[in-house]
Amino acid sequence: MEHRIADIQYCERLFNRFYDIGSTETGGVTRLGYTETEDEMHEMFVQLGKELGCQSRQDLVGNTYITNTQNEEFYLIGSHLDSVIEGGRYDGVFGILAGLMVMKWASEDGIKLPLCVGAFRCEESSNFGCCTIGSGLITKEAYKQDIGSVVSKSGETLESIFKRRGYSLHPTKISGIKQYLELHIEQGKVLEECQTSVGIVQTIAGPRRFKLYLRGLAEHSGATPMAMRYDALCAASEIILEIERIGKRESAYQSVATVGVVNVHPNAMNVIPGEVELGVDIRGIEISSLNRIEADMKDAARRICQNRSLEFLEEKTSEILPIDMSSSVQAGLERAAKKLGVSSRRMISGAGHDAMSFANLCETGMVFVPCRKGISHNRTEFASIVSLCDGARVMYEYLKGEAGCF
């Protein structure tokens, strides 16, 4: 759809206010959750809210909210302001900007839409190895168990960080949300390849994560004959390829399996790798397929280690079930897109999002906008402001209908 030049320019200005924060020499950004860089992002968000004439507040885990209402009930539009290491500037930030745009349009149109834009802490798992910490804690969804003992990249526990900042690992549950909406870059290439302006998310694939520990024997790489070795890295290599094969087989059910972490000990040129730790991420929307991947992966790893006389241990570090978005929100967003002449398609989300934390609490929906070549979690990530405006307009149109504001 056509957008007002003033909207595009305003949106660009908002985007640029965040641009330099956490910039790295290679052109990306590193804005890890619960670090000073993420604080800077939240301070900028508060500033932008102030410029819109809105109140801001922080909750007990450091999430920041900007609101245009004193109402006890409100529509919450959220996303995150942290990034992965050497990540891009669009992941998360676009969702926050969408919220600010909707807030601005409502005020310009003189529409009484009770809105709250929420920036949730530490959505990415890059700092602590677990994701959606801010939204998970306040909705009491993602974390049934205490997560105070998880450790940051710099070696501090979440508990100690929270203590220092005056946060609480057991905050009161958020209330008053009529509906939760989130705009996000797709982080895949479906929309771009189908030349569709917005995606309407049906289901968010649930990640299951595992650590596989392989123990052989670290010995001299020169003095140990090939037939007498217990090389954990060679076993790990076989396991990695086996997991790829299982993932390919299950791709018929839209499942994926990835070994993204390989820690080798002692990781020295002249020592046979004695121990390897693998980090495995399995995602999909069909539980039976996920169960098959998990079982087959464990069988394969056990068999491969047995054949090489290695010790094997596995640990499931997290499991989030696939989460459906509200069907009435999906239908409403679709109607809104149609009304505006914005092309849309329903799709699944392979990536996790803050929206997962809210789906059991209130009607929840997500809008995707295309990103170039589907690249994300990478410094070359790019999405256009026009796409952002398309998605934000669809959300605004939908919300107006919901609140009876026509």
Binding residues for Zn ion, per CB under 5 A? 91-92
d(CA 61, CA 135): 9
Q: What are phi and psi of 66, to 5 degrees?
A: -120, 130
- Which CB atom, from 92 or from 322, has the smaller least distance to Zn ion? 92
Which residue is listed with tokens 């069988």? 299
- Exposed/middle/buried for residue 249 (C-beta within 10 Å: 0-12, 13-18, 19+): middle
- Which CB atom, from 123 or from 397, has the smaller least distance to Zn ion? 123
- Distance of closest approach, residue 120 Cβ to Zn ion, in angstroms: 10
- Which CB atom, from 92 or from 274, has the smaller least distance to Zn ion? 92
- Distance of closest approach, residue 187 Cβ to Zn ion, in angstroms: 7
Number of neighbouring beta carbons within 10 Å of residue 266: 11
Q: Kind of pairing, strands 256-265 and 275-284?
A: antiparallel
d(CA 18, CA 25): 16
- Distance of closest approach, residue 188 Cβ to Zn ion, in angstroms: 13
- Distance of closest approach, residue 328 Cβ to Zn ion, in angstroms: 24
- Which CB atom, from 78 or from 92, has the smaller least distance to Zn ion? 92
Number of H helices, E strands in the chain: 11, 13
- Which CB atom, from 91 or from 242, has the smaller least distance to Zn ion? 91
Q: What are phi and psi of 398, to 5 degrees?
A: -60, -50
Which residue is listed with tokens 């209130």? 362
- Distance of closest approach, residue 189 Cβ to Zn ion, in angstroms: 17
d(CA 304, CA 235): 6
Q: Kind of pairing, strands 206-215 and 64-67?
A: unpaired
- Distance of closest approach, residue 184 Cβ to Zn ion, in angstroms: 6
- Distance of closest approach, residue 348 Cβ to Zn ion, in angstroms: 16
- Distance of closest approach, residue 80 Cβ to Zn ion, in angstroms: 6
Task: State which H helix or E strand residue 75 sits in.
Answer: strand 74-80
- Which CB atom, from 126 or from 289, has the smaller least distance to Zn ion? 126
- Which CB atom, from 7 or from 91, has the smaller least distance to Zn ion? 91
Which residue is listed with tokens 């004959």? 225
Which residue is listed with tokens 């596989």? 212
d(CA 134, CA 120): 5
Residue 120 C-alpha from the chain's centroid: 11
- Which CB atom, from 59 or from 91, has the smaller least distance to Zn ion? 91
Which residue is listed with tokens 């005020």? 107
- Distance of closest approach, residue 41 Cβ to Zn ion, in angstroms: 13
Tokens of 57: 């507040």
- Which CB atom, from 91 or from 402, has the smaller least distance to Zn ion? 91
Number of neighbouring beta carbons within 10 Å of residue 209: 21
Number of neighbouring beta carbons within 10 Å of residue 137: 30
Residue 38 C-alpha from the chain's centroid: 15
